[in-house]
Amino acid sequence: MWPRMNPALTPITSRGGRDLPTGYSLLTNSLLNKGTGFRDAERDGLGVRGLVPPRIFPIEQQSKRAMGNLRRKGKDIDKYIFLSGLQNRNETLYYRLLLDYLEELMPIVYTPTVGQACLEYGAIFRRPRGLWISIKDRGRIAGILRNWPRQDVRLIVVTDGERILGLGDLGALGMGIPIGKLSLYTACAGLHPYYCLPITLDVGTGNKDLLEDDLYIGLDQPRVRGGEYEAFIEEFVQAVQETYPRCLLQWEDFGNHNAFQLLGKYRERICSFNDDIQGTASVALAGLIAASRKTGTELRDQKLLFLGAGEAATGIGELFVAALKEEGIPEDEARARCWFVDSKGLVVASRTDLQDHKKPFAHEGKPVNTLLEAIEAVRPTALIGASGVGGAFNQEIVEAMTALNPEPVVFALSNPTSKSECTAQQAYAWSRGKAIFASGSPFQPVEYDGRTLVPGQGNNVYIFPGVGLGVLSCSGSLVTDAMFLAAARTLASMVTDEELASGRVFPSFQGIREVSLQIALAVARIAYADGLARAPEPADLEADIRSRMFEPVYQDYV
């Protein structure tokens, strides 16, 4: 656990009573720098007078100025670079800005702009915000972890860059993903940035273009696989446990095979989870629960057809099955309500080419090759895209779903925007305004037939920050599927009737901190009930968790 209220000063001064840095050193410490926000007494007492302009600005005015500067940037990637520079200079102001303008800045800090940022990461890299650990560092990973200047890390988001969003293998350029995820942990759930560490594991790349690029910043070698890769990961996990024993490890954007293998290997050994499998499942399940509220049906009445059968899609299916089992539905009946279409057609029992994670959903049925044929054969109530194939839900597909359902559920969850299976405008137009639509990337409200329809964004940011906050608040030893199921139910319960009427199946981002708090509360309660909490349970759990959430306000140093 960490100090209540987590002022920026606390983690610095609590480490052996070390003094606060002064002068220019203070201004280069992004966690402590206030820029023009230093008061007169601080300017004198900390030796920064003359190093910053003379006029003193409160953080509210600094935020307003920063937003004005950002809005003058023409391209989203330039806005991303501006925000990265601000984060490197003054993290308190950076998070104040995010909270003040969250809906506007979320697409810049994370999807879809983070995809472009990863593609260009070698060119826009300015200052280290995390650690790169390469396969050539085997035997000294623990020492590299100790190079990080903050020695009480509680949360690591790690990627090996093989499956960055829907963009594929970006190798070392994938660093933008863990940096972005951890920014959202702080903005949306109040995890103090002091305790957060982004890591990219560089084992080479299978991207031919990167290997032929003389300016590529990662290892210029083919991606390592097999036993050597597994030994590297094992050393990394052991080094994390040795160096940061109270740390939660989040696996992010690994390729399908490694994602399932690593989750299966480590989920019972260490405090960890895979956001692409479990976080995506939780937010999608929340959307399905909310959609069922809107249609006046039960979750058990849904029949799901997935386009894509990778980690995201099958993760959703598994959590959907868990939810139905919790409601008393036998597992075989629950699985029979989930069907998948992969690159070779409908996943059925007669196929001999199925990977292990697909086999539990391979039902008896006639093999069909196309999505349209699958819709006609399965007759689903909900169509869920997790394929990374932009435009896969064409007019014929949406019209077929509409012919089967008064209010068809159409979730186009692939990221970034270019990979979305369809747009909100298309879903509403082709369904004649009947679709219950959600997407992975943000879309603007749509005017249709005199109504304003507001699409939901099935963004994992609704889930993983709250789950992480809940686990860390009670010093959880493991992260379980029951926690993600509770997170989904909690999120769905926070969608108002007014939001459902407008077309939304997720609440507004403006209330994301309260969403994260309530999810954290549900997760911590499960940890205490299941004997997974290593900290004593406080008398008022909600007040205790709230008191530990970082608020981006300046603390008085003098």
Sketch out the chain's domains with CATH numbers. 58-270 (3.40.50.10380), 278-462 (3.40.50.720)
Mean pLDDT value across the chain: 94
**pLDDT at residue 117 in the model:** 95
Mean pLDDT for 249-257 is: 95
Mean pLDDT for 134-155 is: 96
**pLDDT at residue 19 in the model:** 74
Question: Which residues are CB-neighbours of 55 under 8 A, at least 6 positions away?
Answer: 36
Which has the closest alpha carbon to 531: 485, 484, 476?
476
Instruction: Please write down the HEC assignment for all residues of 219-230.
Output: CCCCCCCHHHHH
pLDDT tops 70 at residue 283:
yes
Annotated active-site residue 110? The verdict is yes
pLDDT band at 10 (very low <50, low <70, confident <90, very high): very low
Mean pLDDT for 151-155 is: 93
Query: pLDDT digit string (tens) for 514-548?
Result: 999 999 999 999 999 999 999 999 999 999 999 99
Residue 265: CB atoms within 10 A of its CB come to: 15
Burial of 249 (0-12, 13-18, 19+ CB in 10 A): buried
**pLDDT at residue 151 in the model:** 85
**pLDDT at residue 558 in the model:** 87
pLDDT tops 80 at residue 185:
yes
Which of 79, 80, 121, 181 is catalytic? The answer is: 181
Annotated active-site residue 181? The verdict is yes
b/e burial code for range 144-154 (CB count within 10 A of at least 16 → b): bbeebebeebb
Cα–Cα distances in Å, from 463 out to 246, 292, 357, 468? 21, 19, 23, 9
pLDDT tops 80 at residue 490:
yes
Query: pLDDT digit string (tens) for 424-451?
Result: 999 999 999 999 999 998 999 999 999 9
Mean pLDDT for 127-137 is: 95
In this prediction the pTM is 0.94
Instruction: Please write down the HEC assignment for all residues of 89-105.
Output: HCHHHHHHHHHHCHHHH
Mean pLDDT for 396-415 is: 97
pLDDT tops 80 at residue 138:
yes
Question: Which residues are CB-neighbours of 457 under 8 A, at least 6 positions away?
Answer: 438, 439, 440, 441, 442, 443, 506
Residue 105: CB atoms within 10 A of its CB come to: 22
Which has the closest alpha carbon to 158: 245, 229, 237?
237
Q: Are 299 and 324 in contact (CB under 8 A)?
A: yes
pLDDT tops 60 at residue 14:
no
pLDDT tops 70 at residue 7:
no
- Tell me how far apart the alpha carbons of residues 218 and 212 are, in angstroms, rounded to a whole number: 12
- Tell me how far apart the alpha carbons of residues 115 and 176 are, in angstroms, rounded to a whole number: 8
Residue 306: CB atoms within 10 A of its CB come to: 29
Which of 80, 95, 110, 185 is catalytic? The answer is: 110
Cα–Cα distances in Å, from 378 out to 218, 332, 384, 485? 45, 16, 13, 26
**pLDDT at residue 4 in the model:** 47
Query: pLDDT digit string (tens) for 360-403?
Result: 999 999 999 999 999 999 999 999 999 999 999 999 999 999 99
**pLDDT at residue 16 in the model:** 37
pLDDT tops 90 at residue 455:
yes
Mean pLDDT for 401-426 is: 95
Mean pLDDT for 238-254 is: 97
3-state secondary structure (DSSP) of residue 414: coil
pLDDT band at 1 (very low <50, low <70, confident <90, very high): low
